[in-house]
Amino acid sequence: MTVVIKDSNGSFREKALGWAGCPIDTAGLEVAHFFGGTLENSLRNFTHGKANSTVIGTPTVKANSVALQGRLNLIQTAMADTNESTLVVVFKPLEIADAIIIGNLVSPANNTTRRLAMAYSAPMTVTGFRTTDQNQSGATTSTALAVGAPVCLALRNVMGATPLVTFNNLTKGEVGTMANPGPPVLGGAIRIGGAYNVAGYDGKTEVYAALGFSRKLTDAELGTLYAWLKAYCARRAIPI
C-alpha cells in the first residue's frame, strides 16, 4: 500500500518522512527542501535516507521560505558535488547585489576558481557555472531578475559525447547552454543561499524550495517538476 501525503494546508513539512509526491523518478535525488514554518522543518531533507541540512549563521524563517544572505546566513546541505548533477531552486532576490543562489562556487579576487553554482551580480542576470580545467565561464539567459519577484531556475551539468552546462529560467521559459570541455572540477557539498567564497557575493535572497539530483534531469522531467513546484507555490500565493 502506498501513502501519499497531501500538502494543501502545508502540514506535510511537519509530518512527512519523505517526499511521497515527487512527480518524477527519484533516482539520484540527494536533497529536497521545502522551506518555512520553523528552522527545524526548513533544514529537513525530504529525500528518504539522506541527511538533513545544517545552518550557518541565523537565517530568518518565514511562513513558506527562509531569508538568506551570502556568506553570513545560509543552508549547508550534505549533497556531494558529482560529475553530472541538476540543481533546481525557487527563490526571489531581496536586493540588487551580487549573490549566490545555490552551489559550491569559490570566487577569489582573481576570479579564476569556479565550480558548480547559480549566481548573479548587480545587473541581476543569472549565470549557471560548472568549472572544468579549460572553462571558467557559464550559461545564462537574457531576462534579468527583478527584486521581489519569485522565479524557478535550474542548472544541469551534462556529460557524455558533448558536455554541456544548461541553465533554465523555467518561469520565463528560457534556456541557455554552453559547451563544457574537460572533466568537472568538483568542490565541496552544495550550499543554499551562499557558497565557499571568501569575499563578496553577500546579496540577500529568499528561498522557497531547493532540489538537488546527482544526475541530469531530462527536459521532460524538468518540465514535470516545474509544473509540480508551480502548483505547490500557487497554493501559497507565490507566483512562479
**pLDDT for res 18:** 60
pLDDT digits (tens, 9 = 90+) for 16-50: 556 768 999 999 999 999 999 999 999 999 998 99
- What is the C-alpha separation between 224 and 64, in angstroms, rounded? 22
Q: What contacts 24+ positions apart, CB below 8 Å, involve 56-60? A: 56/191, 56/194, 59/193
Backbone angles phi, psi at 175, to 5 degrees: -140, 140
In whole angstroms, what is the distance from residue 16 CA to residue 33 CA?
12
pLDDT at 14: 52
**Which residues pair with residue 139 across a beta bridge?**
128
| DSSP β-bridge partners for residue 209 | 34, 90
Residue 47, pLDDT score: 93
CATH number of 26-215: 2.60.120.200
d(CA 99, CA 203): 4
68-78 per-position pLDDT tens digit:
999 899 999 99
